[in-house]
Amino acid sequence: MKVYKKLFRYVPDNKLIGYLAIIISGISAFFMVYGYYYIYKFFDEIIVKGNYENAGFHSTRIVFYLTLSGLLYLASGITSHKLAFRLETNLRKRGIDGLTDSSFRFFDLNSSGYIRKTIDDNAAKTHMAVAHMLPDNSQAFLVPFFAIILSFIISFRVGTAIIILTVVSGLILKGMMGNGEFMKLYQASLDTLSAETVEYIRGVQVVKIFGTKLKSFKALHEAITNYSKYAYDYSLSCKKPYVLYQLIFLGLIAIISIPLSFFLTGISYPKTVAVELIMIFFLAGVMMVSFMKIMWASMNMFKAGYAIEHLENLYNKMQEDKLSYGRREHFDNFNIEFENVSFSYGENKVLRNISFSLDEKKTYALVGHSGSGKSTIAKLLSGFYKIDSGEIKIGGFPLEEYTKEAIIRNISFVFQDSKLFKKSIYENVALADDKAGREEVMEAMSLAGCDEIIAKFKERENTIIGSKGVHLSGGEKQRIAIARAILKKSSIIIMDEASAAIDADNEYELQKAFKNLMKDKTVIMIAHRMTSIQNVDEIIVLENGKLMERGDNETLIRKNGIYSRLLNLYNTANNWRVSNEKLL
């Protein structure tokens, strides 16, 4: 019931359906055993009393009660299936809602394959526990209970035989269910296999391009090996008790009949004994099915418990490291301060007590080797991550004191690979400000240099991106994204490698778009293309999560430090050409 209580929390408006399914299944179990009572009466009338008229009467009751039991069981299953599908839907919705509101660090620490597997597959695992196990659990435990009562009503001998059979079967059943820790290892290996398989499939393009072999995907290979090992070992651990269980029930006729045959001559009421034997065999079959249901119930409940536990752990992870928000809705100014800020991705320390300030309406560039912390600073400023220690301030107040809407409204982020939606060009730009009129949207598009783009298409700004015949280059996509940022009218602009998509045909228009976007804004640029940052107000040089140098281009060149070396490396690489000489 602990598992069901957890599951029912996700269907608060429908949990009564679950209890109804249990009650209906319980009534079905009673009528099924009651039908077997009339089977006993039927044989007693025919064999012992020879009253065929009463036997015929009892046969109609057998049909009635067993049919009624079957119909009630079907009704219970339909009811529980309705609840199971609602539960699956709600668990997936809960996962989707959590993903849309989770921290960026969550996505850094959890692969997409793992997230998909945990939400989708584990939600599906709860289906069996609710749709089938709700009615089956009731029958699995109530049918043996009612059957034992019926066996003693028939006779003490039948009751004793069924009790012994129940005790022996219960002991064997424990071995059939498998070891709990074993099941955890098995499920964990299955989770890993699913996650690694998804990641491998998504990397098939790389495999084909570079001719990489499967053996290079060590994690996937290990996942396959571990899963096969645990699946095989788990099957072997259940083999002996399951075979013994089958031998007892399927060989019950021989187990009872052969020794009994030595005492038949001394029995004064053989017809009564014959009826009792028939009922033992009938009830043994009922018990066998019930105990099998208990075994499957145990396995499926373990899976459901494991699934809901992992889902809830994932839901909790989604809420970790989220930036908390306050009530301040307006910024007094847009000066930026980092005070002893530290941040890490798991065990990987990225920023180490870094401090600096940036004045509003100036343009800054962050440079440094890969992993120096450039993109991390930009993401922290945007509220994508919660810092480990220190404080980030805008306008003199900590970022946490502003509302989420205020941060979103006043900070725009232009990525290297901007994402566009399968909507019209106009709608892709307009989504930045749902209150903007048509003139404002068109003006933003013009300032971003989109006039040339929409002129290519018959439907102009109403052209659906992603439709047949619509092809946009990286630079054209970037201009549409810049139009979106211009329309948003944020006071702080962050550009993370935004110029990386520049091609020869788009460079001039894209640079004009950048100029219009950055006008009278506080701008932070992250770029590896050193020529694009030489005219900024100030360059900040980072290394190993620390601020090493800052100043304008000329000042840093004269200093002949890290920035100067980076610039020389860039110029050397930029001037590199393939030689016509043969390589020996």
Q: What is the pLDDT at residue 532?
A: 65
Phi, psi of 142 (to 5 degrees): -85, -35
368's enclosing H/E stretch is strand 363-368
> Residue 528 and residue 481: Cα distance in Å, rounded?
20
DSSP letters for 243-279: HHHHHHHHTHHHHHHHHHHTTGGG-S-HHHHHHHHHH
Over the stretch 424-452, which tens digit does the pLDDT of each residue have?
888 888 887 778 788 888 888 888 778 88
Helices 507-518 & 438-447, crossing angle to 10 degrees? Answer: 120
Report which of 560, 577, 497 is spatially closest to residue 530, judged by C-alpha positions: 497
Strand 522-526 and strand 363-368: pairing? Answer: parallel
- Using only C-alpha atoms, the chain has a radius of gyration, in whole angstroms, of 36
Q: What is the pLDDT at residue 146?
A: 92
Q: What is the pLDDT at residue 415?
A: 73
**What is the pLDDT tens value at each position of the chain, 584 positions in all?**
677 777 778 888 887 888 888 899 999 999 999 999 999 999 988 888 888 888 888 899 999 999 999 999 999 989 988 888 888 888 888 888 887 777 777 777 777 767 777 787 778 778 777 888 778 888 888 888 999 999 999 988 888 888 888 888 877 777 666 555 666 666 666 666 766 666 666 665 555 544 455 555 676 777 777 777 777 777 777 777 777 777 777 777 777 776 666 666 556 677 888 888 888 888 888 888 887 777 777 777 777 777 787 787 888 877 776 777 888 888 888 888 888 888 887 677 788 888 888 888 888 888 877 777 778 888 888 777 788 888 888 888 888 888 888 888 888 877 766 777 777 888 888 887 778 788 888 888 888 778 888 888 777 878 887 666 667 777 777 788 888 888 888 888 887 765 555 555 555 666 667 777 777 778 888 866 666 677 778 888 888 878 888 888 788 778 787 777 777 776 666 555 545 554 44
> Residue 546 and residue 374: Cα distance in Å, rounded?
10
Contact 387, 341 (CB under 8 A): yes
- How buried is 478 (Cβ within 10 angstroms: 0-12 exposed, 13-18 middle, 19+ buried)? buried
Over the stretch 479-511, which tens digit does the pLDDT of each residue have?
888 888 888 888 888 877 655 555 555 556 666
> Residue 398 and residue 406: Cα distance in Å, rounded?
13
DSSP letters for 195-248: HHHHHHHHTHHHHHHHT--GGG-HHHHHHHHHHHHHHHHHHHHHHHHHHHHHHH
**pTM for the complete prediction?**
0.62
